[in-house]
Amino acid sequence: MVFRIVPPGLYAGRSHVLVERAYLVSRRAWMSVVSGFFEPLFFLLSLGFGFGQLVATVQGPGGPMDYAAFVAPALLAASAMNGAVFEATFNLFFKFKYAKVYDAVLATPMGPVDIAVGEATWCLIRGGLYSGGFLVVMLGFGLIDSPWALLALPVCLLVALAFAAVGMAAATFMRSWQDFDLVQLAVMPLFLFSTTFYPLSVYPAWLQAVVQWTPLYHAIELMRGLTTGHVGWSAFGHVAYFVVMAAIGVVVAARRLGKLLLT
């Protein structure tokens, strides 16, 4: 095994260098970053305001509410998820498998934890950019009804961090580009069935129980509560869910990267 300045599993406190590198690379490919903002916007315009014309009201956190106001917070949560997951999986896999970026990183005073924290931070920034832009759109359309919405962006960052950490951990188990079909297989059902477009009550009881365990459901519940002003003690449970999810993801990603790169 090649000698490394930093032993496996240690953190040199220089993860910000990877964030700076990601920023410099993204400046040359800014269109690929910006394009991720438009997907939830198109869904909002086509379903929230288009299909929403056929729906009078839908049951929300505090009672019946306009369909566009129901869908918008869910798309906000989904934008945080998508921005983080695809950055964490596709880009990390390319850097690890083909560009060999992390081999070069580990030849410096940095360790696997630096890589995991640095990449998770950049995914958080990207997810935050999408979420912040979509919040501005929601405000412009009058879809925010409470000052609690000021906390929506920090919560989006937590959601993005949790999904990024799990995405990085998953990417370390992938062997080829064909494995990314599994990422889409996981993300698409989350997007469609986590009460994004209709309330939980439309599902049979057994499926409701399954949906309530999924991460995007917790994110959507948080966003709907904050944007409508119906915030209860359950919000702390949702936040704890993502804190645990992020911690597990970072630990698994760091250990897997250390095992794969240092052997």
Rounded CA-CA distance 201/19 in Å is: 42
Q: Is residue 155 part of a domain?
A: yes
pLDDT grade, residue 2 (50/70/90)? Answer: very low
Residue 90 in any domain: the answer is yes
- Say yes or no to pLDDT of 131 above 60: yes
pLDDT confidence of residue 120: 78
Task: Return the closest-CA partner of residue 127 out of 151, 147, 153, 96.
Answer: 153
Question: Could you tell me the residue range of the domain that residue 25 belongs to?
Answer: 16-261
Phi, psi of 58 (to 5 degrees): -140, 150
Domain assignment present for 129: yes
Residues 255, 100: contact at Cβ < 8 Å? no
Please state the pTM of the whole predicted model.
0.82
pLDDT over 90 (residue 243) = yes
Q: What is the pLDDT of residues 46-103, one digit of tens each?
A: 776 776 677 777 887 877 888 888 888 998 898 888 878 877 788 778 877 777 887 7
Give mean pLDDT, residues 138-156: 86
- The verdict on residue 7 lying in a domain is no
Residue 180 lies in a domain: yes
Q: How many domains does the chain have?
A: 1
- Whether 11 is covered by a domain: the verdict is no
